[in-house]
Amino acid sequence: MASITLDNIVKTYPDGFTAVKGIDLDIADGEFVILVGPSGCGKSTLLRMIVGLEDISSGELRIGDEVVNDKAPRDRDLAMVFQNYALYPHLTVYENIAFPLRLAKGKFSEEEIDAKVRRASTLLELDEHLDRKPANLSGGQRQRVAMGRAIVREAQAFLFDEPLSNLDAKLRGQMRTEIARLQRALATTTVYVTHDQTEAMTLGDRVAVLRRGELQQVASPRGLYDQPVNLFVAGFIGSPPMNFLPGEVRGDVLHLPLVDVPLDDRLRRAVGDRELVIVGVRPDAFLDAETMGPGPGDGRAGRGEGVRFEADIDVTEWMGEVLYAYVPFETHDAVRGKLEELDRDLDGEGMRTQMIVALESMSRIREGDRAELWFDPSSMHVFDPESGDNLTRDEERAAELEDDAREQRKRALERARKRAAQDETPARAET
């Protein structure tokens, strides 16, 4: 196992297109890092450069302390699992898993091969399928065979390129948990490409967000959600997505399309001398005022001073645990262009001129209602309308979140190592 270091990595394809524009990324030994971003942002290109399937145009790639730019893929000792896990149809599951070991001709004895295959198959719950052919397996089982092949190699790192995107939603959920558990048990350095929100937020120790070949932010999932550096990251992370509203500054007040918010110290500092900003509010920052009792900021459930406002509800969607309500609003011409550009970058389906609010399940708000909503302005993010920079980002808080994440990860790895020391097949004993 090893660390992977990307130092100003650039990829320009032979047709002149620069798909990766100078990326720096330090992946620690044993760390699980997710590469995420919209289609075409360069995720696969970056992964293929790490594995060695694609030349690096400039910059330096190191595995451990060694520069590997010019090393052939097989000498880099990395195991890659693709979306289209090509299994050999004429070989049994056992032989498919054993394949990379047999490829290293004479390096392993029959007993060694058998021990490695059996350990992987136990870890992946494939024991009873070892004699079967891939064609007769489910999608999830095939994916596990592909992972088995990566595991037996005991490579320096695992690289995954959207390994679950061919599976249906339920199976994807199961395999996601499986991969997380496995990675923790093996503590193998892992780089995982996805454009799936949930995978990005749940699997990784850290998530690297890419946009058009450029790294936007690398942080823990909580760090990205809470303290995004810019509009792009804020809009990309979170589902349903963050609402973006034009905010006009007049005197002591920030005018939003549906509500006026008094400028407190935090907001005033963020706004500076701007007259117009883009305001971001997450759907879950809102409450149905009806369900929280009378009076503004009544401190219910420890909620601070809030702001109430009335809104016309267009559509509602009751999801069981939450009620989504859609509230149309008029946007401002001066920010329309920026928000349309953002929407295109995010692979959106057209400019969002409606706000989505996530309300308590028992809320009685229904479509067509004029409803009273509540939100806490301290949950607002404020962005520069030109650069898209997050003006309310709290560097101190962001650093705390990263410290927490590192600490948690360390504990998880220690637990896994302890268990591995006690038990040869640690992963099963865990759940």
Ligand X SMILES: Nc1ncnc2c1ncn2[C@@H]1O[C@H](COP(=O)(O)OP(=O)(O)OP(=O)(O)O)[C@@H](O)[C@H]1O
Binds 41: which of ligand X, Mg ion, none (CB < 5-8 Å by kind): ligand X
Q: How far is the CB of 282 from ligand X (least distance, A)?
A: 25
CA distance 26 to 62: 10
Residue with tokens 């650093």: 399
- Helices vs strands, H then E, count in the chain: 13, 21
CA distance 36 to 42: 9
Contact 205, 183 (CB under 8 A): no
Tell me if 19 contacts ligand X by CB under 6 A.
yes
CA distance 289 to 372: 5
Options 5, 44, 217, 243; binder of ligand X; rule CB under 6 A: 44
Residue 297: phi, psi to the nearest 5?
A: 50, 50
Q: How far is the CB of 163 from Mg ion (least distance, A)?
A: 12
216: exposed, middle or buried (Cβ count in 10 Å: 0-12, 13-18, 19+)? buried
Contact 77, 27 (CB under 8 A): no
Nearer to ligand X, 42 or 148 (CB): 42
Binds 116: which of Mg ion, ligand X, none (CB < 5-8 Å by kind): none
Query: Count of CB atoms within 10 A of residue 200's CB?
Result: 23
Which segment (35-43, 90-98, 142-150, 299-307) binds ligand X by CB under 6 A? 35-43
Binds 17: which of ligand X, Mg ion, none (CB < 5-8 Å by kind): ligand X
Query: Count of CB atoms within 10 A of residue 220's CB?
Result: 23
Contact 2, 157 (CB under 8 A): yes
Options 2, 23, 37, 44; binder of Mg ion; rule CB under 5 A: 44
Binds 377: which of Mg ion, ligand X, none (CB < 5-8 Å by kind): none
- Which structure tokens are listed for 259? 């509500």
Which segment (30-38, 41-49, 79-87, 378-386) binds Mg ion by CB under 5 A? 41-49
Nearer to ligand X, 38 or 280 (CB): 38
SS3 of 336, please?
Answer: helix
Which string of x and - marks every residue 342-371 that binds ligand X (by CB under 6 A)? ------------------------------
Enumerate residues 236-295 that contact ligand X by CB under 6 A: none
Nearer to Mg ion, 35 or 405 (CB): 35
CA distance 331 to 345: 19
Residue 395: phi, psi to the nearest 5?
A: -60, -35
Contact 248, 382 (CB under 8 A): no
Q: How far is the CB of 81 from Mg ion (least distance, A)?
A: 13
Enumerate residues 172-191 that contact ligand X by CB under 6 A: none
Options 195, 282, 352, 393; binder of ligand X; rule CB under 6 A: 195
Q: How far is the CB of 3 from ligand X (least distance, A)?
A: 23
Options 42, 204, 388, 426; binder of ligand X; rule CB under 6 A: 42
Nearer to ligand X, 13 or 88 (CB): 13
Distance of CA 319 to the CA centre of its chain: 23
Options 4, 23, 33, 45; binder of ligand X; rule CB under 6 A: 45
Q: How far is the CB of 42 from ligand X (least distance, A)?
A: 4
Which segment (37-45, 125-133, 170-178, 275-283) binds Mg ion by CB under 5 A? 37-45
Nearer to ligand X, 134 or 213 (CB): 213
Beta-bridge partners for 215: 210
Binds 231: which of Mg ion, ligand X, none (CB < 5-8 Å by kind): none
Nearer to ligand X, 44 or 190 (CB): 44
In Å, how far are 64, 218, 376 from 410, measured between CA atoms?
20, 18, 34
For the chain, the C-alpha Rg in angstroms (whole number) is: 25
CA distance 53 to 51: 6
Q: How far is the CB of 18 from ligand X (least distance, A)?
A: 8
Beta-bridge partners for 308: 374
Binds 295: which of ligand X, Mg ion, none (CB < 5-8 Å by kind): none
Q: Which residues of this chain interact with Mg ion, rule CB under 5 A?
A: 44
In the complex, the residues that contact ligand X under the rule CB under 6 A are 13, 15, 17, 19, 37, 39-45, 195
